[in-house]
Every structure is written in structure tokens, then in C-alpha cells.
Amino acid sequence: MTADPWSKFETHARQLQALGGLDNLSHWDSETFMPRKAAEARGAQQAALRAVMHEKLTGPRLGELLEQLDLSRLDARQADLVRVVRRDRDRERNVPERLVVELATAQARAVEAWKEARRTDTFELLRPHLEQLVKLRCEEADARGHGGERYDPLLDKNEPGLSCARLTPILGRLRDGLVPLVQALSARPPPDDAFLSMDAWDVDAQYAFSLELLAAMGFDLDAGRLDRSVHPFCCGLSPTDVRLTTRLFRNDGSNGLFSALHEAGHGLYEQGLAADGTPLSTAASMGLHESQSRLWENVIGRSRPFWSHFLPRLAARFPEPMRGVSVDRWLASINRVQPSLIRVDADEVTYNLHILVRFELELALIHGDLSVRDLPGAWNERYERVLGVRPPTDADGVLQDIHWSLGEFGYFPTYAVGNMYAASLTRAAERALPTLWQEVARGELSGLRGWLKTNVHEVGRAKDAEEIVRDVTGTGLTETDLLAYLRAKYEA
Ligand code: ZN
């Protein structure tokens, strides 16, 4: 007996999802425990796996399986799965294999050049690679197709359904709201936060405290791990295998802690997806993913109710640096607002200004209005104008992020989208859970986690990110909730 068309299609879709999980496992291993000498062999292994996945998604077999389906007989969930697989396939299949290979090769070379350029503060080492990547990404955008806005297909890969025309005015209004707020806040006297950089934050105790926070958030450590890496990240192999990493420094009391909260926010999303093993059960967008991490890291993790419960526990583990540190001083220290040069170290108020600079610059690069040669100068000029600080070196400026060396154009805005979604989702959660903040103040975080699981995580890709948010908040992507949240918190 041969399997019916639906079973054959579903099996194919599950295999695609399973291969994606292995691809992620390989990535996680490369960033954590892989021996240094294995890099080249690992590169070949990953390229081989990607080729198999590309063929499975774009090849004729899946086309046949899709054609054999009787669409009129599918239930809603089945129809969603077909739509998602078809969309993935349509996105990929117009990109010629030659371009896929050229991009992969150019990215690998550019990342190596970027490391050296950053180490020696020499933008010129990266310049030709970046020029090549901009050219290839423009080709890719044209191959994917657009209605005249080349940036849209690049943005759509990360934030399905969002367009440059919709995003630009939202980010403009966000900037107009943030600039005066930053000016007012940075004029305030700085808090006494020297205890945070004391050389007394035992890293094993930091790791143990991070696990305590993860458990309180409801992150299932029997379905995930927390390890250490140079750059913290979250990697979901399946909802029952979610790998988090953090970084811990003896002379930094907050970096590892907030990295753990951030990555655990991503991790709860991955664990909260339906465990049906299909491509439908993955995150709806990069921005929505980031909303989950920023919600836990900033909205919850930098709030007074949260620390009214957890500060005594932190102080018990770190008696020396935390001696005499009150809740007020702790909150002032972890919420210090100050324009700075480095995005990943930025506070939650200035953070989006870092994103705006990158968005404007990459848009100009893709439109051909700015040459790569002029990029460092344009970067410095914008930092001075938008944030009031000028990078002394390119290493502290245009060379600080890896994204462009990976050919990632259309990715940076998803960080700002995530911050906006986080604020909007919090507003909706406060309405739905009237005792939310009392629960947080008792260290009870399961109510919020359950609400997010039902309203965001479990939806998977059955809806686009903005639709998921609109269904619970009543509005789509908007800057107003984020600005209201920041004003209420920092003007208090
Ligand atoms: Zn993140």
C-alpha cells in the first residue's frame, strides 16, 4: 500500500524541519565545544548539509508532492503548513544556485577579513569584501523579486510581510521620540555603579544564579542547556532541545545575568512552539523572536517588582560586591542611560538609535546612494548627529558588528521591531493579567510565560508576526507603546 499524498508531503516537510535542527546543532557546536582545528572540516560538513536542504526545498520532488495535494480537503492546520512550505520554496527557488554558492563563499571570506580588520582597526581590509556582498545581495533581491524597493526582499527574509515603506516612518517617529528623552536622561547625575565592575563576581556563582533565574522563568532544563560562549546566543534544535549560551566575567556583575535573561526569553519561545516537528512550528519572525528576549531582559528583568524578589537572592550569592547595595541603587545602576559607541552594551533607551543609524546606512548602500568606501565617514557623522558621540576608531565604529560581514542587510531593523513588539505585548499582558506585577514581585513568572506561550509561541508560523501581535494588542507594529513604556519608566 502506498502512502496517501498528504502523508508523503508531511513526511517531506518533517524531514526539512529535522535537517534544520541538525544544521542548528552543528552551529551550536561550532560556537561552543568544537576543537579549533575542526573549522575547515566543519565548514565542508555544513555546506554539504545546506546543499541537501536546498535541494529538498527547491527541487522537483517537493513540487510534485505539492501538486498531488487535494487542497479542498485540508483542515486549517494542514492548509497553514502547505502555505508555509510553499512560501519557503518560492523564496528560495528563484535564487540561482550560482548566487547561493557565491554568497556563501563571499560571506566566509568577509567574516575572516572582518576579524582582522577589527583587530587591526583597518576598514580597508574589509572594504572589497563588503562591496562584493552588497553587489550580491542586490542581485539576490532582484532574483527574489520586488516592486521597485530592493530592500524589501532582504527585510522580508527576516520579517515576513514587513516593507520598507511601512517601517521607515515608524522608525522615524521612534527616533523623534527618543532623541529628546535621551538628552534629558543623560543630563542626570550618573549612579554610583562601581560595585558592578568589582573583581569579585565569582563566575561559578553567576552561572548558578543564572540557572536559578531560568528555572523561575520556567525554562525547562531537561529540554535545554545553558553553556558559555564568546557571544551569547540561543539555538533551538526542537522544542525539547533548546541550547542557550551566556558569557561570564569576574569583573562584571550584570553582563552575564542579563545575557542569561535575554537568551532565556528566546529559549522560552523555542520551547513554547508546538512539538509537531513541522516547519509550521518555528518562530514567526526575527523581530518577534527578539521581542521575547527583550521583554524578559528589559521589561521584566530591569523592573522594580522583579528585583524586589530577586535582589536578596543575588546579594546572598555575592556578599562582597553587593554589600550595602540597596534596591534603588541596583535599579539605578542597571538602568543607567548614557549615549555610547557600542550597540551591544547600550541601555534600552539609546539602543534603538544604534539600530536607526545602521538601518539608514544599509538602506543607502542597497539603494546605491552610499558607496562602501564612504561608509566609515558616514557612520561617524551619523553617530555624532544622532547619539552625540564620535567613534575614535573604526573598530569602535563601523567595524563593531559582524552582521554586514555575513551579508546580513535587512536584519538590524528586526532588533528595533523586537523592542516595539515587546512593549506592545507587555501592554496587552498587563490587561489580560491584572495581577501580573504582583506575581512578578513574588518571583512568580509562570502566568506571563503561559500567556506568551498561548498567544505568541504556540502560533508558530500559522500567522505572520504582525498579525500575531495585532490579535492580542489590537494594533500592529507601532512605536507608541515603546515610547510610552520608556517615558513612564524613566521620567518617573
Ligand atoms: Zn536576541
Three-state SS across 368-393?
A: CCCCHHHHHHHHHHHHHHHHCCCCCC
CA of 78 to the centre of ligand 1 (A): 30
**Rounded distance, CA 143 to CA 222, Å?**
43
Q: Are 411 and 153 in contact (CB under 8 A)?
A: no
281 pLDDT more than 70: yes
Mean pLDDT of 139-156: 94
CA of 263 to the centre of ligand 1 (A): 6
CA of 300 to the centre of ligand 1 (A): 15
CA of 247 to the centre of ligand 1 (A): 14
Q: Are 410 and 151 in contact (CB under 8 A)?
A: yes
Say what angle helices 446-455 and 413-432 make with each other, to 10 degrees. Answer: 110
Confidence class for position 491, pLDDT limits 50, 70, 90: confident
Half-sphere exposure of 198 (CA within 13 A, CB side): 15
Length of the chain: 492
CA of 63 to the centre of ligand 1 (A): 35
CA of 70 to the centre of ligand 1 (A): 40
CA of 292 to the centre of ligand 1 (A): 8
**Rounded distance, CA 263 to CA 244, Å?**
6
Kindly state the cell numbers that stand for 437: 506585577
CA of 262 to the centre of ligand 1 (A): 6
Q: Average pLDDT over the chain, rounded to whole?
A: 95
Region for 227 from its dihedrals, namely left if φ exceeds 0, alpha if ψ lies in -120 to 50, beta otherwise: beta
**Rounded distance, CA 404 to CA 130, Å?**
7
Say which residues have a Cβ less than 8 Å from residue 31's Cβ, sequence separation at least 6.
Answer: 229, 230, 231, 233, 245
Q: What order of strands is seen across the sheet that includes strand 234-238?
A: 224-228, 241-246, 234-238
- Backbone torsions φ then ψ of 466, nearest 5 degrees: -65, -35
**Rounded distance, CA 280 to CA 77, Å?**
9
Which one-letter DSSP state was computed for residue 51? H
Which one-letter DSSP state was computed for residue 121? T
pLDDT tens per residue, range 432-478: 999 999 999 999 999 999 999 999 999 999 999 999 999 999 999 99
End-to-end CA distance of the chain: 70
Which position has the grid cell 520556567?
218
Say which residues have a Cβ less than 8 Å from residue 225's Cβ, sequence separation at least 6.
Answer: 242, 243, 244
333 pLDDT more than 70: yes
The pTM of the whole model exceeds 0.85: yes
Q: What is the pLDDT of residue 467?
A: 97
Strand ranges for 19-135 from DSSP E = none
Q: Are 349 and 181 in contact (CB under 8 A)?
A: yes
Kindly state the cell numbers that stand for 227: 553553556
Q: What is the pLDDT of residue 355?
A: 98
Q: What is the pLDDT of residue 2?
A: 65
Kindly state the cell numbers that stand for 322: 553587593
CA of 293 to the centre of ligand 1 (A): 6
pLDDT tens per residue, range 353-412: 999 999 999 999 999 999 999 999 999 999 999 999 999 999 999 999 999 998 999 999
CA of 288 to the centre of ligand 1 (A): 10
1 pLDDT more than 70: no
Query: What's the Rg (C-alpha) of the chain?
Result: 23
Q: What is the pLDDT of residue 282?
A: 97
pLDDT tens per residue, range 239-272: 999 999 999 999 999 999 999 999 999 999 999 9
Q: What is the pLDDT of residue 214?
A: 98
Q: What is the pLDDT of residue 484?
A: 98
39 pLDDT more than 90: no
Say which residues have a Cβ less than 8 Å from residue 148's Cβ, sequence separation at least 6.
Answer: none
* Residues labelled as active-site residues: 263
pLDDT tens per residue, range 186-234: 889 999 999 999 999 999 999 999 999 999 999 999 999 999 988 899 9
Neighbours of ion ligand 1 (CB under 5 A): 293
Q: What percent of the chain has pLDDT over 70?
A: 100
- Backbone torsions φ then ψ of 226, nearest 5 degrees: -130, 115
Confidence class for position 41, pLDDT limits 50, 70, 90: confident
- Tell me the β-bridge partners of 148: none
